[in-house]
Structure formats: C-alpha cells, structure tokens
Amino acid sequence: MSGCNRYLKIRSRRDFLTQTALGFGTLGLASLLNPYKSYAADASVSSPALPHFTPKAKRVIYLFQNGAPSQLELFDYKPLLNKMVGQELPESVRKGQRLTGMTAGQTSFPLVPSFVPFKQHGQSGTWVSDLFPNQSRIVDEICVIKTMHTDAINHDPAATFIQTGSQFPGRPAIGSWIDYGLGSDNENLPAFIVLISKDRYGQPLYSRLWGNGFLPSQHQGVEFRSGKDPVLYLNNPEGVSHEDRRAQLDILGQLQQGQSQRYNDPEIEARIAQYEMAFRMQTSVPEITDTSNEPEYIHELYGPESKNPGTFAANCLLARRLAEKGVRFIQLYHRGWDQHDYLPKGIQRQCKDTDQASAALITDLKQRGLLEDTLVIWGGEFGRTNYSQGELTETNYGRDHHPKCFTIWMAGAGVKKGMTYGRTDDFGYNIVENPVHVHDFQATLMHLLGIDHERLSFKYQGRRFRLTDVHGHVVNDILA
Amino acid sequence: MKHRGSHPKMKIKTITFHTVLLTLFLVCRLCLAGDHHGSQVILPDTIDFNFHIKPILADRCYKCHGPDDNAREAEMRLDQKDGAFGDLGDGYFPIVPGKPEESEIIWHIFSDDEDDLMPPPDSGYSLTVSEKETIKKWIEQGAEWKDHWAFVPPQVRPSSLAELQKKELSNGKGENRIDHFIVQKLQEHELSPSSEADKEHLIRRLSFDLTGLPPDLEHIDTFVTDDSPVAYERLVDRLLATDAHAERMAMEWMDVARYGDTQGMHADRERFHWPWRDWVIKAFKENLAYDEFITWQLAGDLLPNATTEQKLATAFHRNHPVSAEGGIVDEEFRVKYVQDRTNTTATAFMGLTMECATCHDHKFDPVTQKEYYQLFAFFNNQMEIGMVAEGGGSSGPVLLLPEPDAEKPLTELSQEIDRTLRQLESTVSRIVAEKNFIETAKSQIVQAPSAYAFFPFDCVLPKKIEVEGYIHRVVRNTPIDKIVDDNPVSVASGEPRIVNGRIGNALEFDKEYDLVFLRDTGTFEMNEPFSAGAWIRTDKEGVNQSIMGISGDLTNQAWRGWDLFLDTQNRPSIRFISFWPHNYMQITADISIPTASWHHILFTYDGSGRADGMNLYINGKKQNCFTDYDHLYRTIVHPWKEQEGWKQKPVMVGRSGRFYTGDNGVFSGSIDHLKLFNRYLTTREVAALYHDETETPVNPDIFTDEDYVDHYLNHDDPGAQYLIKKLQDLTGRKLKLLEDVPEIMVMEEMPETRKTFVLDRGQYNAPTDEVTPGTPEKVLPFRDEWPRNRLGLAHWLVDQQNPLTARVAVNRYWQMIFGRGIVDTPEDFGIQGALPSHPELLDWLAVYFMESGWNVRDLLRTMVTSNTYRQTSATTKDHWEKDPGNIYLARGASDRLPAEMIRDNALKASGLLIQKVGGPSVKPYQPEGIWMKPSESDYKQDSGESLYRRSLYTYIRRSTPHPAMLAFDAPSRSVCVVKREKTNTPLQALVLLNDPQFVESARVLAQRMQFEGGESVESQVRYGFRLLCGRSPDSNEIRLLKKQYEIALDKYKSDPVAADEILCLGAYPFDYRLDRFQTAALTMVASTVMNFDGAYMKR
C-alpha cells in the first residue's frame, strides 16, 4: 500500500480530529477537550460559525513596504508645497502635534514638495507620481486610501501596530487571526505564508510581525525562503532520500498505531496526520516555490528580477502562485523605505525594486480571474513629513516619520476600483476628510474576508482579545 | 434604554408564556446550529453562586453592570451584593431571592421584546437557554450570594482536616492527602482511579517532571529492582537534590519572568542578563523558600543589609523588553516598562489581570484604574529612560558583577584611593596650619594659562569635506563644507555667520545645522584633569542649549562623553557621562546668565571622578553650584571607531547629538574664543585667563583662602602634586580593571520619589490624579506597618492572609506536574477565570504550602508521592467518555514534553548532553538567515560543548527566538507567560525529522548503540529505544525497528555516498572504527524512535 493511500484511510477514520489538528475549524476544540470550562465560563460568545457572513475575499496578499514610503512622492499630490518650498510649516497646520525624537529638536521645518512630477492616470484620473510608471497603469483596478493614520511614531511600534493591532509585542499577527478564524483551503500548504525580499535592508523585521502571539502556535506565519530550504527544516538531511523518508514514515506510522492502542490517546492519530502533512509539504513547497516553469511572458510582466528568487518581483510572482493554490494569507515584506535623508536617491531605488512587480501582480491576478476573490494591499506603517528633515537643498532633502496621514492602496475582492478615498489638507499634513485609522483598515480587511472584527476574539488572561482591540469601523465607502 | 417594564403581575404571565415559547424555539435552533449547550438543559441540583452564576454574570453582564463606574448602564450593578439585591427605585429589584418572577433580571433575560431583552441581542453576549434557566433556578433556590472564591483566604475545612487525620492513621502506605481530595471528586463523577503505572513509566515521568531529563538506564534498573517500600520516595528525594532539578524549576520560571538574552525591541541587541538566570537556578538548588524567592526578586535591594545576591535577584523586574530605536518618545516607553512590571507582578504572583485596568476600571474584577496606578507606583521609581543604548548596554540601575578574582584587586584599589585621599587631606591641613601661608600666596602673580587647543572663530572658508557615516547622520542632508579659522581641526556645516565677537570675530549659530566640529581633540578620560570654556551670547531661553561637548548622541551609546550647556533657565551646567542615566555626574550653577550680552563660561575638572572636582565659572568668577547627580564610576571615552579619518568622536559646538531625548539641543547665538585645556585650572588661573582676555586687572577680593590653598597645592607643593597625580593614576587603574566588569540591570530606588499619576486611557502623556503606592483593597488591605515601597508590596504578597499568592503558586506547580492547573487559567484567578476543579484541594495545598514555610521542594514531593500522580496514564473508554481532558485525574497525566525537554532527551540519549550548570547563553545549530540583517546581529553559531548544553541555556533573541523551540510552543519571552500552548503541527514533524540537532543526535546515538548496546542489531536497537523512551520495546516495536534497519541498511549499502553524507552531519565526528552502513542504518532507526510518541511524550 502506498503511503498516500494509507494516509487517506487514517484520515477518513479520524476525520474530525485530523482536521482539527491541521488547523481548520480550530474554534471549539478547546471546549471539546475541556468540557469543564465550557459550562459557562468559557461559553463561546463569538459565533463559532465562520465566516460570519459571505466573504468577498477568500485570501489576502499584503505587500508590506517596511520603513514607511513617502506618500508625498508617490500618491498624495500637493502642489501647494511647490509654491511654498522652503517656507516654514505653519504652526496653524502642525498645531503642536508631537514629532519624533529625531526632529523634535529642529528649529526649522521647511516645507518640501515632491522632486518628481505627478500626473493623473486612467479613467479614474488617479494621481500618481512618475516614480510609479507601472502602477500608474493599474490605477483603475485599485482603491487609493490617502487618509490612513496611526498611533505610533516610530518603526518598531508602528509596524507591530499595523500588523498585530498593538504597538507592543505579544499579540497575534493579522494573518494568524485570519488563519485561526478561517483555517486553510489547502491541505498541503500552511494557511499563512511570509515572503521577505532578500538583500534589502533598513529597519529591522521581527518574526513577531507574523507571530501567533497568544494564539496556538500552528497559526504562526510560515516563512518561505529563497534558497535550498524554502521552509525551515523542510529538506531531508543529506543521505536521506524521499523514498527513505516514505519508508521511515510508514514504519513510524505503525509504531504510532501500536502506541495508540497502548494508551488510547487520539492525539497520536492526529500526530500521524501531521507527519503526513509534513511529508506532503516536502513535495508541495519546492514545487510551488520553483517559478522557473512560468512562461516567459509572465517573467516579462513581473520584470527580469522575477527570475532571481527572493527578490520582491520573484516574491510577487510566488504570491500569485500561492494564491492560486488557495493559501489564505500571503504576507510580503520589502524593506528600505526609511528616507530620513537623501530621499530622492533612496526612494528611486525602492520604486525600481517594487513598481513593476506590484503592478504585474494585479494584472496577473486579473487575467486569471483571481482578483475577483483576492484582496491585495500595498503600504507601509506610517507616512512622512511634509517638511524636510535635515537641510533642504536644491537637490536633496529627507522626511521624518509622520503618523497623521499616509497612503496605502487596496485592490481586488470587494474593494471599489479606480477610487481615491479620503483627503488630506493642502499641506499633506492633516486629514480633512474620511480618516482611516489602522484599526479601521484591519476591521475592513476582516470584513472583506467575511469576519466581523468584533466577533472574532480569543480569550486570554481573562479578557477577550480582538485584532482591533476595542476599536475599528469597517470603511463601508470603499466596499464595492 | 427601556428597562423597568410592565406591571409585575403581567410579567409573571409573560415569563411563563415566553419561557415555553423560547425554549421551544431555542431547542429547534440548537438542533440546527449544534449549540453545545443544547444537551445541558439538565441543571445541577444545587446552583452555586460562585460556580454556576457568577461565571455567567461576569461574562455577559459585568461589561455594563460590573465594577467599571464609567461603563455602567441603567444604574444596575450586579457584581456586588448591595447592587444585585438593592432597590432600583420604585420598588424594583434586580434579584429577589426565591422570587424569579419579581426579579428584574429575569424579566430582562427572558424578554421577547428586543428592546427589553438583556443582554442586547446585537451585543453578541446572548444567554443560552441553560444559562437563563440556571439563573432562574438559583433565584428560586434563594439566591445565596458568595464572595468570589479567590478573594477569600484559603481555609481547610475542619471536616476535611478530621478526615485527613483519620486517613493518615489508617493508611500507612501510599495514599496521601492529595488523594483524599481527588478520590472524593472521582466518586462524585462516578469515576474510579487507575492502577499504579509500572516502574519504568514512573521513573521516566518523575525524572522529566522533576529534572526535565530522562532517567539514566542504571537508575531505571536500580529502581525497577528495588523492592524496598520506600524505593519510590528515595527516588523522589534523589531527583529533588540534583542540579538538573534546579534547572528544570528555573526553566519554568523563565517563562513567568519573561527572561531573554536581548533587549526585545527594534534592533534587539544583546543584553547581559544571564547571571540572574543563574541566581534562579541557585535559589531552586538551595530550595529558597517561595516567600523569600518572591521578596528577593521584588525588593531584594530594599532588605536590610542587602547582599549582592539579593540585589541580583531584582533583575527579575528588569527582564522586560526595552527599545533602543533612535528618536522614540522617551517617556512613552519608560511608562510601558513600568506597566510591564505591574502586569507581570499581577500575573505571576497574584493571578490577576490587572492589565485590564490600565485604561479604565477593571470590567470584571474589583480593581479600579486608580488601584492599577497605585501598584504601578511601586515600580515607577527607578533612574531609567525609555530609549536605552544599543548593544550590551545595561542601563538604568545596575549592579557591577566582577568575577571573584577581579573583586579583590578592585577592593584593594578602592582602599588605596581612600588612603591617598586621606594623605592629601592631611597635607592640606598641614599647609593651612602654616602661619603666613595665605599672605605669601597672595603676593604671588599667577599667569593666564595657555590653551591646549584654541579656536578664535574669526573666519570661515568653504572647503568640501567628504563624510558619510555617523557624522553625516548628524547633519542629515547638510554637507560639512567649511573650515573655520583656516584650522583643519575645526570644520563646519550649515551657515554659521561671522559676526563681531567679544574678541575679534565670533560665529553666530541660528539654525540647527549650523555647527562646528572640533576633530580629534577634546576626548579625555574621567581620571584626566581638563577644562574648557568660551565666550557666548544668546537670545534664547526656556530650553537647553548646548555650548560644546562630546556626549551628544550620534551612535546611541548612552551619551558617553562630556557636555557644557545652558539649562532651561540659562544656568551653565556641566555633565560627564559614562552611561546615561545611571552613571554620570553633573553640576549646575545657581545663577542664570542674562541674554543679549557676552559672558565667559568655563568649567574646570580635577580628574577626581567626583562632582566636587568640577567647577563652573562665569566671567572668571567661580559660581556656587548644586550637584544634580554624582555617580560616575566608569569611562567617559566614547567607543568611537575611526571613520573617514575622524579618529575620535568630535566635540560639537553649537548643538549636541541628533535631537534625541537626552541631547542638549541647538545653541542660538554667538560663540567666540573657545579654549580647551588639558589640565585642571585653579580659580586664580581662571581669573587670570578672564582678565587677560578682557585686559582688566584681577580683583584679589574674589579669592577665598581655599582658592589660595588649592592653587598652591596644584602648583607649588611637590608632595601634594605627587598625591594628586597618584590619585589620578589609581583611578586610571581602577577604570582599567572595571573595563571588563559587566553590569546587570537591577531595581534600585531613586533618592527622590517620582510622582505617579493615573494615566487617562493608559496614555503616558495624559496624567490625571496623583496616586501613591498601594495594592488592590479587595484582595487584602495594606497594613500600616508595611513600608509603601516594593518591600512592603512583597510583605503584602506573602502575608498569610493574602488569598492569592499561595494559591497561584501551588496551582502553577500543580500544572507543571499534572499538566493542567486546578484552576485552568493560572494567569487569571479573577471572576473571568476558570473555576477550580478541586477547590478544597487547592485551598488545602495553599495552606499546607504556607505552613510548610513556603517549601517548594516539599510541595512537589507531596504532589509526586501521591497515588494520584503514580497512576498509569493509559486511558480506558470509560475515562475517555466521562473525562477526556483528565480534569478529575482518574488516570495519570500524559503530556507532550516541552520544547526544551524534547531536545534535551535526544541529546542525553545520544550521550552528547553537557550537564554544566549556568554561564552565558549558548548558540546551538540554527538555520542560516533567521536573524535578519543588519549584519551586526548575525547569528554566530557556537562550537564544541556549547552545541550540546541543556536547552535552558539556548540563547533567546526575543524578536527571533530559535525556530525549533518556537515550533514546540516555547514563548518568545516578550511577556510573562504562565501557561504554554500545546499544539501539534507539521512543522514539529519537520524539526524532529530534519533539524541537524536531532539528526546528529540520532547518528551519535547510533554509534552509542553499537558501543554499548551489545552485539546483535536487536540488542542495539533495544538499547537505543530504551535510551530514548525509557522502556524496553515490545516485540512488535522490535520487529518494526529491525525492518527499518534492514531497509536502511540495504539502501546505504547500495548508496555508500548517502551513508557518508549522513555520517558527516553535525560537528561531532564519526568514529571510523564503526561500520559505515550499519551506523547509517541505525541512525535511521534512532531517528524513527526520536519521532515516536514514546520519545517526545510523557506518559
């Protein structure tokens, strides 16, 4: 009997437990195993029936731009700044709002416009700067939100906030919440996968950004890496072949069966299933991460770097492949957007890295019909100041952190196309219309997946925790 | 909101009618939705408030009708007896005992009107049928109200005691007091206990529980063949006395204490903290009483005549993560650190979720927001800052931890310094005693001192100077493109303007990038005397202004260096910093300088390392100064690495640092004639300098007798000069010795108490009412005789009347031994927490624990010698059906081993394990690229013994902990964790199958099997199996493993390259005396067993 058939047999016998242990439908397991608590203290208030309502999105691809890209050079066009270049940021605009410890001591806050021109694009007439020639061409597919704002003013807390709903370590990542709530649509791949651009540095990344926090650890994001071991510990050691492993697992399975009889513990059966899942991952993961069999026109779409595994372009292509396989939450990270100084030079390099592939992902998903039920998000952790950090010269300036407004875009499942949402003031400093707080963004993301953000909770240390804490409103205006 | 409804009589009717309807409707709904309460409409005979009612009220009602005054709706309060039974007005009562039909809450929870129904249908808090019926039945039965069980001090019922005493008399063997309580519950649930596990299982289970390691085979054999009636007790005592036991206990405490080897946030660099971990091991080894264990960690420094060890213990509350991210708002983070201490104290010792009261009164437990900040106040009095230094920096209160052999010379040096100081003092006395000395001195003429470096600031010339690196980061986009005074040492950025100066020209600074760098000059050590000054003129007031200095932050090195500045009141101030904010000295003049006029500001320093060795002068006259801080004991030389030809960190003139908190900001005004002196200047010399530069005569009236003595000592008395020089040399030697002495972060009170305020919404910048230290009143009143500091808090915690501390502790240890706490929410004993499965047992254990003198070892001994513990863990159908979670313990506990033990088991079985206690954390195998760049934080794998230490010692980088440990549910140690998740995932399978740590262990075990396991393959396999699983394999297991062996042997014989590959894996060499193919095949066998339930499970 081949290993796979054997596995199917076990599965049908122990379907429920196996599924549970694989991470689908995990809500309710705790009470099943712990009837004592369930009498009242742990009675589940949040509906275990997930999704709570019909989802628009089945999966998410989140292109996280770590370090905080400047909205003022990319999407939020402010012609007034061109007129006022070098003039002081009026106190009537700043209104004494706090600055980072890095510019709080500056005595001068000279306004600085974008060094690149902006144009309107597409039927929607969306403003995009010349730094994003490719994304300019997909503006009619995306919804640009110009009025994101956050509570945090520095990278670590801000990235932790937008990714976990709290500025400080310890909470589950968005992807972990989604995995916990919805589970996986693919039995051979994890539901929450993380891809990080290689060789691009800047602000640090931490595994806690895709960590499970207080949720069970099967909900932590699994990093897919470029190189020979695409998932940690995936490869058999040298000298052990796939066939050797199969034979070993067959014997191990029989040993486990004996142990199961000895102790009558259903956990052992669940463990056997995990080994089979691991075995299947050994085949499925290298298959999915090998993009060399993609046709040439696809590589051309994503750009030449898409053939170089681990680059942002290659990760975008891989994200599309994972989406095709039903992976629930695909989290990309691209670093290097922290342009405190030498902004013109720095941001051009970043745009070159990311523009084509970001646009290609949308185009590619669309041509496959996947954009219908895939939500794509592009954005960083906060915005950048409209005044120069460091001296403003003819050709050079920098921008400090700015939590009061920043731009992200969303595209695909359930989001209005060709829309620009929210308005900042003419200085690009404060929001004047339709603010979207980080918690609102998270609530909207969950809503698109069919989750009521107020009802997906996890009881930990005596309190029901949610991704959105006690905040968050779905931004209905951007829903298609 | 409409609450008080219709006429009471109508209500009765409505209730009856609707109850029927609702029940019908809900039963249907339940059938459809599979609501798991559907089958529980059978209610307990007696409804208990604490066990049945309070959990419902707390979960569904207290959010709006609980302790939070600000959230309360309809003035109805159901968490207090007065509120629940009190008159709501107009003769309505929430609860009328015995009369559900007259009880408002019954009316609301059964209402079919959406407006009346409670909880509101859209709240998501709706009650199930069984919950409603339970409340109704409770009211019918008389609605007996009880205080929350956990806030009533634990008591042992007299009846229980009597029975226990009888038991002890009648039962000489086996059964102990724990069993009494367990059996009672089993009977209630119609369960019967299991038989005792066999001895192989027992010793393995016991060894893991008490030591975290598997038993040695010899120990198994000894135990199995030991027929003595006390064989088991003997084993327990032997294990409890081992180092491994202390390590196992420390392992548990590390999660609670959120111990990590790194700072925890942002770049997350290393911190020196492991000596505290070693102290914990030592404390367990010595079986330090738990009340002292707590007291030392919370307040060891405040104990009378505190020892180094007691101070070290307080590092517990410096374990929390900190951030070194440049530019963070300092106070925001400092407050977070204090909140972490507060929350950890509550979770670890009190089992309370105080954290919930950070922003508002607790929604469920009787803890107000004010009480939260009262507890916070205990931990708010440390000399610390929010933004700590990068890399190895122990900041805030620290404890020097010299190695024993470094301690002696340090003490000797300190003694010699004291002796020399006394000699100098007697020299001074001798001189002063000399008649006519002053008169002679007065007649001497003192020359103006010549500068070691002089910057007249007369002209600025453009000159391109290429700099990037840190220097560049100070000026951001502004180039450093000017040269001052045609002197390559002084270069400038921005546009400092040439203006009329006090002497010739001066430089005017009016923008933040106008600043002058003095290269390769001005770096002095703290034992070197030096002085510096300049003419300044400013228009600014109200903020600090840096005149010149070296300490401003460029590289986040805790502001090391010196800094002359004007404070917010334009008073000159000088500070020398080794490590901000705990290791520095500073004095400030008690007079402000007027704006818009020229003043000469100068400081002198005598190299003594003391604040009284610093002086400040305004216009040539020594000023009265106050000492801001006087605790400098290490180097003030910045660890600058040469960059782009800048050999030392430059002196910055006109600004300091990068605007970080702690930097003295931008100088606004003009600076002229800046001079540095590489020696101490006496008052007379400074006067001479001033009058030389102003071309006016010296007025001798400004000098005191002391000034004459001082000048004489420094210039004319060879004996005194010798002693001064000697003191400087001795200090230099001491600095040298201290270079390698590490410091660990500990708790220490500031001399002046920092005020604590309630923080609105928990925000650092929203203080409201001032509070003083205090504890939650409802738990236990704080006695007057206790000090209102951390020591008093410790007294409060370990008081016999504190209802929580002992219960929380015994519950955690119960969880450690039995896999599940008596209270299954060890972090929450509050109203929202789980109820104890065995309340009487919990109380008995708590009382017993306290009465035993908080003896942890005795407590564990009592647990593991119970019959309950010794039962077999095999599950019968009956057990599984009645109690799948094994809450009532009709069978022994079984559990997947924690991450650390799974690895340690493999290492021990292979013989690789190095059992050395303590020391720095180690870096075993870890896949490449886990620690993401920046490259300073590359993972440098250890070699040799360090690859094989117990997992307790594995280095924990909190932002990226070891992935194999994470896979097995080890926490990241960012927050206090008292209960680990237990998951089962494919990643765990991949770790056990493929992690080099396990593959190497399998291969080395394969070698050991051949050396020690006998001649035949069967006996070798049997041997390996026993080493990993602690029992002999049965015939089927042997058959399967031999089959594995045959398959693998065939393969490796036909593929020798593959055999060589697997034999080369890992750092431990293959022993070429052994057959390659057999070893490779046995490696596969060992790997199979490592992945087998018997190896990673405690059964």
d(CA B429, CA B947): 63
Chain A residues with CB inside 8 Å of B828's CB?
A: 461-462
Q: Does A277 touch chain B (CB under 8 A)?
A: yes
Chain B residues with CB inside 8 Å of A238's CB?
A: 1058, 1061-1062, 1064-1065
For residue B32 the two structure tokens come to 């459809």
Q: Does B1058 touch chain A (CB under 8 A)?
A: yes
Phi then psi for residue B507, to 5 deg, are: -100, 135
Could you tell me which residues are beta bridge partners of residue A142?
A: A411
Q: Highest mean pLDDT range out of A46-55, B810-819, B835-844? A: B810-819
What was the pLDDT predicted at B120?
87
Closest residue in chain B to residue A265, using alpha carbons only: B875
Closest residue in chain B to residue A249, using alpha carbons only: B1088
| Cα B335 from chain centroid (whole Å) | 14
d(CA A424, CA A410): 18
Average pLDDT over residues A34-58: 55
Interchain pair B993, A236: CB under 8 A: yes
Chain A residues with CB inside 8 Å of B969's CB?
A: 216-217
Query: Residue B834 CB: number of other CB atoms within 10 A?
Result: 20
Share of chain B above pLDDT 70, in %: 93
- Cα B551 to Cα A241, B545, B579, B629, distances in angstroms: 60, 13, 10, 16
Coil, helix or strand for B871?
A: strand
Nearest to A287 by CA among A322, A314, A315: A322
B612-617 contacts at long range (C-beta below 8 A, 24 or more positions apart): B614/B574, B614/B576, B614/B585, B614/B587, B615/B587, B615/B683, B616/B572, B616/B573, B616/B574, B616/B587, B616/B588, B616/B589, B617/B533, B617/B683, B617/B686, B617/B690
B984 → closest Cβ in A33, A270, A459: A270
What was the pLDDT predicted at A39?
27
Q: Hey, what amino acid is at B843?
A: D
A169 → closest Cβ in B387, B932, B975: B975
- Tell me: the pLDDT tens digits for B466-499? 776 667 767 777 788 899 999 999 999 888 999 9
Q: Does B353 touch chain A (CB under 8 A)?
A: yes
B330 → closest Cβ in A101, A341, A398: A101
Minimal Cα–Cα distance from A272 to chain B, Å? 9
Interchain pair A105, B56: CB under 8 A: no
A vs B: CB pairs below 8 A:
319
d(CA A202, CA B266): 11
Q: For CA atoms A138, A141, A145, A146, give the dihedral sign.
A: positive
Interchain pair B512, A108: CB under 8 A: yes
Q: Does B226 touch chain A (CB under 8 A)?
A: no
Interchain pair B984, A271: CB under 8 A: yes
Q: What confidence category does residue B937 fall into, taking pLDDT thresholds of 50, 70 and 90?
A: low
Q: Hey, what amino acid is at B480?
A: I
Interchain pair A341, B477: CB under 8 A: yes
Determine which of A29-38, A183-192, B552-561, B745-754 has the lowest per-residue pLDDT on average.
A29-38
Minimal Cα–Cα distance from B709 to chain A, Å? 44
B989 → closest Cβ in A41, A46, A278: A278
Average pLDDT over residues A388-406: 91
B323 → closest Cβ in A156, A208, A463: A156
Q: Kindly list the strands in the beta sheet with B545-549, ordered across the sheet, starting from the edge strand earlier in the chain.
A: B460-462, B480-484, B490-493, B515-518, B651-653, B545-549, B561-566, B572-579, B583-589, B625-631
Tell the residue number behind the tokens 């006090």, with chain if given. Answer: B502
End-to-end CA distance of chain A: 51
Measured in residues, chain B has a length of 1099
* Residue ranges with strand state E in B270-423: 398-400
Interchain pair B1061, A281: CB under 8 A: no
- Cα A416 to Cα A219, A411, A419, A475, A477, distances in angstroms: 30, 8, 6, 11, 9
Minimal Cα–Cα distance from A274 to chain B, Å? 5
User: ipTM value of the model?
Assistant: 0.87
Q: Does B38 have pLDDT greater than 70?
A: no
Minimal Cα–Cα distance from A172 to chain B, Å? 12
What was the pLDDT predicted at B159?
61
Residues 6+ apart with CB under 8 A from B583: B398, B577, B631, B632, B633, B634
Q: What confidence category does residue A145 fall into, taking pLDDT thresholds of 50, 70 and 90?
A: very high
Minimal Cα–Cα distance from A112 to chain B, Å? 13
Interchain pair B984, A251: CB under 8 A: no
Q: Are A205 and A66 in contact (CB under 8 A)?
A: yes
Chain A residues with CB inside 8 Å of B1046's CB?
A: none
Chain B residues with CB inside 8 Å of A388's CB?
A: 477
Chain A residues with CB inside 8 Å of B331's CB?
A: none
- Give the mutation candidate from A255, A339, A347, A384 for the B interface (greatest B CB count, under 10 A): A255
- Cα B1032 to Cα B200, B325, B945, B1018, distances in angstroms: 9, 55, 30, 11
d(CA B799, CA B787): 14
d(CA B691, CA B689): 5
What was the pLDDT predicted at B293?
98
Chain B residues with CB inside 8 Å of A456's CB?
A: none
DSSP 8-state assignment for residue B820: S
Burial class (CB in 10 A: 0-12, 13-18, 19+), B405: exposed
Interchain pair A462, B1063: CB under 8 A: no
Chain B residues with CB inside 8 Å of A222's CB?
A: 987
Q: Are B922 and B946 in contact (CB under 8 A)?
A: yes
Q: What confidence category does residue B37 fall into, taking pLDDT thresholds of 50, 70 and 90?
A: very low
- Tell me: the pLDDT tens digits for B194-205? 999 999 999 999
A237 → closest Cβ in B963, B1034, B1065: B1065
Q: Does B726 have pLDDT greater than 50?
A: yes
Q: What crossing angle do the helices spanning B839-851 and B177-188 adopt, rounded to 10°?
A: 170
d(CA B610, CA B398): 19
**Cα dihedral B174→B178→B181→B186 (10° resolution):** -60
Q: Are B574 and B567 in contact (CB under 8 A)?
A: no
b (16+ CB within 10 A) / e for B322-356: bbbbbbbbbebbbbbbbbbbbbbbbbbbbbbbbbb
What was the pLDDT predicted at B479?
80
Q: Does B57 touch chain A (CB under 8 A)?
A: no
Average pLDDT over residues B211-223: 97
Average pLDDT over residues B368-388: 95
Nearest to A382 by CA among A149, A156, A161: A149
Q: Does A8 have pLDDT greater than 50?
A: no
B residues 378-417 near A, CB within 8 Å?
A: 387
- Give the mutation candidate from A47, A108, A161, A251 for the B interface (greatest B CB count, under 10 A): A251
Q: Does A424 have pLDDT greater than 70?
A: yes
Q: What confidence category does residue B8 fall into, taking pLDDT thresholds of 50, 70 and 90?
A: very low
Chain A residues with CB inside 8 Å of B1021's CB?
A: none
Q: What confidence category does residue B849 fall into, taking pLDDT thresholds of 50, 70 and 90?
A: very high
Interchain pair A248, B1084: CB under 8 A: yes
Q: Does B766 have pLDDT greater than 50?
A: yes
What was the pLDDT predicted at A123?
97
Interchain pair B1037, A43: CB under 8 A: no
Interchain pair B1092, A240: CB under 8 A: no
Q: What confidence category does residue B162 fall into, taking pLDDT thresholds of 50, 70 and 90?
A: low
- What is the residue-averaged pLDDT of chain B? 90
What element of type H or E holds B482? strand B480-484
Q: Are A118 and A130 in contact (CB under 8 A)?
A: yes
Q: Does B35 touch chain A (CB under 8 A)?
A: no
A274 → closest Cβ in B59, B959, B988: B988
- Tell me: the pLDDT tens digits for B94-111? 999 999 988 989 988 988
Q: Does A251 touch chain B (CB under 8 A)?
A: yes
B660 → closest Cβ in A101, A271, A275: A101
Closest residue in chain B to residue A234, using alpha carbons only: B990
Q: What confidence category does residue B391 fall into, taking pLDDT thresholds of 50, 70 and 90?
A: low
What was the pLDDT predicted at B463?
87
Chain B residues with CB inside 8 Å of A216's CB?
A: 969, 981, 983
Interchain pair B477, A455: CB under 8 A: no
Closest residue in chain B to residue A197, using alpha carbons only: B932
Burial class (CB in 10 A: 0-12, 13-18, 19+), B15: buried
Coil, helix or strand for B435?
A: coil
Could you tell me which residues are beta bridge partners of residue B676?
A: B453, B532
Q: Are A475 and A436 in contact (CB under 8 A)?
A: yes
Residues 6+ apart with CB under 8 A from B415: none
Nearest to B450 by CA among B717, B685, B646, B631: B685
- Cα B62 to Cα B363, B777, B842, distances in angstroms: 6, 19, 26
* Residue ranges with strand state E in B884-1038: 895-896
Interchain pair A239, B1062: CB under 8 A: yes
Q: Does B325 have pLDDT greater than 90?
A: no
Q: Does A305 have pLDDT greater than 60?
A: yes
d(CA B818, CA B811): 10
Burial class (CB in 10 A: 0-12, 13-18, 19+), B630: middle
Q: For CA atoms B336, B341, B345, B347, give the dihedral sign.
A: positive
